[in-house]
Structure 1
């Protein structure tokens, strides 16, 4: 066991506990199994790059901090974080939605995420259906121009 591996594990475990997250919470949010997380937190293995990204978001800190301890903790209540990550400017409504989401407990956030996924899937299905119906009308020569 390398000293770096051990320190990475300590930082992850400490930050997880600061946020009052259980290993079960981490699994629910990231897909990292309890056994794997336990190995990481004990310093027996380093997290994969995918796990690092997931952990940094969940633990509200940078990957640099997880690996080196030299970067600051991120304030996820700041909409500017999303602007930096995605290069987008959020409008007031989007900022409010993000603020409200982040004020919920993790389990409730996951419920909201699942609800949104279902709504988007339903919307995309209806859009696809209307597009394919329009295409049929065009092929039959019965299309209307709006």
Structure 2
């Protein structure tokens, strides 16, 4: 019989031992921080894929979470390399590589956490339109890193004539130190653009995408 009365205490103590906030743990699992809070208060019990992901992030077995059985590994692995990223609007992202970046960081009220190796310039945005359908949808959360140079076919965040957009990168030509490239959407209803005819500035290369189930 599951000892439900101890589940929340085990989750909370293990999370604190690994120096994870509820938000960081929730982001890694792919649930809301409210869900983690409910687990720790024993209002609900993690199940299925959420339980497996929780065990992975807490460096323990699912059996230990539910029943207190099994070994708990003291040394965190990739969780110790957690990065904190501001989740900003596309309008703010258009100014990210300019002098306003520090101000935007300081004003941010929403953050994501990632165990993917990222530079200090990394940022997160939410897709706002249908331009990248069918692979990417509105409200998909995307993490970009300006320190990673894109390869042909990579998804990038770029400033297109002053507006931040998510597009597919394609290198067209290399002239000395200047790259001529195009940015194209996946949705054919939106136009492709080239750096030879438009004001384009690459902001970052896609490192991670998250899609949360709507209620």
Structure-1-length-normalised TM-score: 0.54
* 1:110 corresponds to 2:86: no
**How many residues in Structure 1 have an aligned counterpart in Structure 2?**
99
Partner residue, 2:186: none
CA gap 1:64/1:41 in 2 versus in 1, 3 angstroms: same
Q: Greater relative contact order: 1 or 2 (C-alpha under 8 angstroms, separation 6 or more)?
A: 1
What's the offset of the Cα at 1:33? 1.1
Provide the rounded CA distance (Å) in 2 between the counterparts of 1:72 and 1:20. 19
* 1:13 corresponds to 2:12: yes
Structure 1 residue runs of 5 or longer lacking an equivalent are 78-98, 126-146
- State whether residues 16 and 22 of structure 1, in contact with CA within 8 Å, keep that contact through their aligned partners in structure 2: yes
Provide the rounded CA distance (Å) in 2 between the counterparts of 1:23 and 1:104. 15
Partner residue, 1:62: 61
What's the offset of the Cα at 1:51? 1.1
Structure 2 residue runs of 5 or longer lacking an equivalent are 85-113, 119-142, 155-167, 169-215
What do you get for the CA RMSD once the two structures are aligned?
A: 3.3
**3-state SS of paired residue (1:112):** coil
What's the offset of the Cα at 1:111? 3.7
Higher percent of residues as helix: 1
Provide, for residues 77-131 of structure 1, a one-character-per-residue CA deviation record: whole Å limited to 9, x for no partner: 7xxxxxxxxxxxxxxxxxxxxx7xx385222753428679x87x74xx9xxxxxx
Provide, for residues 18-68 of structure 1, a one-character-per-residue CA deviation record: whole Å limited to 9, x for no partner: 111001111221112111111110111111211111111100001111111
**3-state SS of paired residue (1:32):** coil
Structure-2-length-normalised TM-score: 0.38
Higher percent of residues as strand: 2
1:60-139 map, 5 Å: 60-74=59-73, 102=78, 104-107=80-83, 110-112=115-117, 122=154
